[in-house]
Amino acid sequence: MPRKKAGNNPEQDKGRKKKNKRFQSVRGMRDILPKEQPYWQKLRKVVEKIAIDYNYNRIDFPILEESELFERGTGKNTDIVDKEMYKFKTKGGANVCLRPEGTPSVVRSYLQHGMASQRKPVKLSYNGPMYRYDRPQEGRYREFFQFGFEAIGEQDAILDAQMIQMATRIFKSLKIKNVALHLNSIGCEECRPSYNKLLISYLNNRKKSLCMDCKRRLKSNPLRVLDCKEEKCTQVVGQAPQTVDHLCGDCKTHFTSLLEYLDEIQIVYSLRPQLVRGLDYYTKTVFEFFTEDDKGAQSALGGGGRYDNLVGILGGPETPGVGFACGMDRLVKVMQNSDTEPYLPPTPKVYLAQLGDAAKKKSLRVFEELNKSGVMIAESFGRGNLRSQLKQANKMNAEIVLIIGQREALDDSVILKDMNSGGQETMPAEKIVKEVRRRLKKNAEMIKKIARQKTQKKERDLVKKKKSKKTTKRKTPVKKNRKK
Ligand code: AMP
């Protein structure tokens, strides 16, 4: 029977297509490729350093949590819980979700592991992926990364100021300029009910001008109407009563203290009466950081605030808390357009080349010995051609190349080629570690000496330049006088 040509058999075609399918990452989720990693590493290092400097301990918590944790903690009527949470039932029937943010998880862990008995505030920091099923666009993903800091157990406004100070230091270390701090106080359960009444009555009178979402929010979470981005709502909200004008005595004192602390550490803020943050648990302080690019487009880098009721809401004893989180994807993007230097990992200065099967086997051992002694080393074990290996060594600017050929494999020796001087010698394999280390150390000292001489020359040139400027300045008035 003649074989059917491709395309004549739909079943076969379908099978072939299925087999050849190239998979893509899921919509809204992306790979962070090696070329981007130096910026991510830089960011993680800066955040880790701040955590150490301010005595925050690292915490990791699962990506999967009970949905109810966020429904109760973040709030059922918030966008990230109501609209954006990845929720599903496990095979065992548990209602779980992919974490949309970190704070409720940190508080859950704090309660679950009895951290309440530790000295307060309990300071915790984290970073990792978060998940929100929102419409993906530039800078907004369904899987994105956040780092965050939480201090649980202290109500003093100095902690709020310190959180802001830490975030500011991170932005400075990353050389991110033009970061604006927006600040507000949204009161507490003492003063918020009466404020809410005022706000509802104000908004009810203008209900027709609100968007559909805000008409709904008016019932479920009126405060959220304040930060709606719809043009018609922002117009209504512009004249709405402001939370800061209706704070109780305690909240007023807290906010004033915070502003005084910020003045003391010279952090510039901009008071934003419409800033409420999207989450239910905030009390008193709320803040957000924005940056502006060359074209004037604003991007939210992160935000946070005080959550004095959250521990209680999640079943613990009433305990105050404050924290903030920043979007790492956005920070990396801003870093790439700023003067931020990415993290450059140390590169190997030694290259190990081999020729022939016996040499290949020996190379594995030499590599291991050098590596164990702390020498970073590169190789292309898969390649048999010596010329292509030496080309590779040149490309990576190796200072030393070690070559093991058939003969060296037989008499247990290694050829050491010094790429700076061009000279080479054969030596017993057992001496190679000591010799490589000696030469690398000598090279490093030489590089340091050259760098020192360069800076000294620069300094001398600068002094000379300054001196010559002074003499020309002195000459100028004489010339003027002569002209007269
Ligand atoms: P939030 O928890 O909503 O206050 O978000 C804190 C920060 O996380 C924001 O300022 C953003 O920088 C970042 N972020 C929030 N959602 C996303 C997202 N879908 N994609 C990328 N970054 C995000």
Beta bridge partners, 400, equal 350, 418
Calculate what percentage of the chain has a pLDDT beyond 70.
95
* Test site for ligand 1: of 134, 329, 334, most ligand atoms within 8 A of the Cβ: 329
Query: Are 58 and 125 in contact, with CB atoms under 8 Å apart?
Result: yes
| Residue 167 CA, ligand 1 centroid: distance in Å | 15
The predicted structure's pLDDT at residue 471? 73
Query: Are 414 and 432 in contact, with CB atoms under 8 Å apart?
Result: yes
Q: What is the pLDDT of residues 50-78, one digit of tens each?
A: 999 999 999 999 999 999 999 999 998 88
- Smallest CA-to-CA distance from 167 within 249, 240, 262, 250 is with 262
Kindly report the protein residue whose alpha carbon is nearest to atom 20 of ligand 1: 140
CA angle 230, 287, 247 (to 5 degrees): 90
Kindly report the protein residue whose alpha carbon is nearest to atom 15 of ligand 1: 327
The predicted structure's pLDDT at residue 296? 67
The Cα-based distances of 427 to 319, 376, 410, 433, 437 in angstroms read 69, 20, 13, 11, 14
Q: Which residues of the chain have pLDDT under 70?
A: 1-7, 294-296, 472-484
Global pTM reads 0.86
Which residues line ligand 1 at a C-beta cut-off of 6 Å? 101, 132, 134, 140-141, 144, 146, 300-303, 325-327, 329-330
The predicted structure's pLDDT at residue 10? 77
The predicted structure's pLDDT at residue 180? 96
| Residue 145 CA, ligand 1 centroid: distance in Å | 8
The predicted structure's pLDDT at residue 194? 94
The predicted structure's pLDDT at residue 5? 54
Mean pLDDT of the chain: 92
Contacts of 254 (CB under 8 A, 6+ apart): 155, 157, 185, 284, 285
Where helices occur in 225-356 by DSSP H, the ranges are: 231-237, 249-264, 310-313, 328-336
The predicted structure's pLDDT at residue 482? 44
As a whole number of angstroms, the distance between CA 58 and CA 16 comes to 49
* Test site for ligand 1: of 78, 79, 140, most ligand atoms within 8 A of the Cβ: 140
The predicted structure's pLDDT at residue 481? 46
| Residue 53 CA, ligand 1 centroid: distance in Å | 25
The predicted structure's pLDDT at residue 297? 72
Beta bridge partners, 128, equal 146
Which atom from ligand 1 is nearest to the alpha carbon of 142? 19
Beta bridge partners, 285, equal 185
The predicted structure's pLDDT at residue 442? 92
Beta bridge partners, 292, equal 298
Compute φ and ψ for 423, nearest 5 degrees: -75, 155
Which H helix or E strand runs over 65?
strand 64-66
Kindly report the protein residue whose alpha carbon is nearest to atom 8 of ligand 1: 327
Which tokens sit at 178?
């033009």
The predicted structure's pLDDT at residue 156? 98
